[in-house]
Amino acid sequence: MVINTNIQAQAASDTLANSQKLLSKSLARLSSGSKIVDASDDAGGLAVSARMDAQIKRLDAAKGNVSDAISFCQAQDGNLSRIGQALDRMSELSVLALDVTKSDNDRALYQAEFVQLQQHVQNTATKDFNGVSLFNSSTLGVIIDAEGTVFPMTGIDIGATTTNTAYFNAFTTGVTISTTTAAISALSAVKLAITQLSADRAFVGAYQTRLNYTVEQLQVSKENLVAANSNIKDVDVATESTEFAKYNILVQAGTAMLAQANNIPQQALKLLQ
């Protein structure tokens, strides 16, 4: 029986320290909701989770880009729809100008409205979306995934003399309905513009369909990544609560046993009395 060295107390102290460490880690997991509190908890899992977190952020950014591109297409289609209405009226005015019972004065009145519609469309050609021109020949590259894949959207130029001559031929100031001869030419030009407009709106609609599917795909990809990431780093509260209760009991028991072990040298004092 010794006094200076209490092996039992030292063993109880080590066991208590270990139980307290495990209790603290369990408490940290429950309070943070993550089972990877320190890198040492799961070094490999932490690396995988970090990559997944970054990919999820990129997916969110890509989804935002695609959503903006959809809004851009909707703005294009809305303006093209109004242009379509103007073209319909211009074609109607062209036919009215061909009426043999109309005088040149009557045609001049039709021409006044015809010019206003031309100017309306010419003004629409200058519209932009957040500083980006809605109608020019430039191809827009939309980022559609987390890896930076580019989806090209061909530009629609309603004011060009080369890329879309159908529009230019209908909206140029030289196109008039002031005479029957001019009205025949104007009607032909407007009909070609209507055909071109139909094709352009079809392209815009196709882009919207593609981008809508892309948004849904990005959402599914994100959900799958979030679920996989959760399996790696999120704590199972039910299981961890059980562990916490166990470690809490061990700490209490260890504290009690350490107190008992510290009393062992007291027995040596009885031999000295």
pLDDT digits (tens, 9 = 90+) for 28-64: 888 878 888 777 777 888 899 889 999 999 999 999 9
Mean per-residue pLDDT, 164-180: 80
Residue 1 has pLDDT above 80, yes or no: no
Arithmetic mean of pLDDT, 121-142:
88
What pLDDT is stored for residue 82 in this prediction?
A: 92
3-class secondary structure, 131: coil
What integer pLDDT is reported at residue 267 of this predicted model? 73
Between 128 and 166, the higher pLDDT residue: 128
Task: Return the pLDDT at 137.
Answer: 83
Q: And the tokens for 114?
A: 């015809």
Rg (CA), the chain: 39
HSE (side-chain half, CA atoms, 13 Å) at 25: 16
Portion of the chain with pLDDT greater than 70, in percent? 94
Mean pLDDT of the chain: 86
Residue indicated by tokens 């008992």: 260
pLDDT at 173: 67
The answer to whether residues 160 and 167 touch, using CB atoms and an 8 Å cutoff, is: yes
Give 29: exposed, middle or buried? Use CB within 10 Å, 0-12, 13-18, 19+.
Answer: buried
What is the reported pLDDT for 248?
85
Q: Check residue 67 and give its pLDDT.
A: 94
Please report which residue ranges of the chain form alpha helices under DSSP H.
Answer: 7-32, 43-97, 104-124, 165-171, 180-233, 237-262, 264-272
User: Model's pTM, two decimal places?
Assistant: 0.77
Q: Which of 11-25, 202-216, 259-273 has the lowest mean pLDDT?
A: 259-273
* 232, burial (CB in 10 Å: exposed 0-12, middle 13-18, buried 19+): middle
pLDDT confidence of residue 66? 95
| Average pLDDT of the residues in 6-24 | 82
Mean pLDDT value of segment 134-140: 88
Give Cα separations from 27 to 21, 31, 35, 175, 229 (angstroms).
Answer: 10, 6, 10, 80, 21
- For the stretch 144-165, pLDDT in tens is 988 889 999 988 888 766 566 7
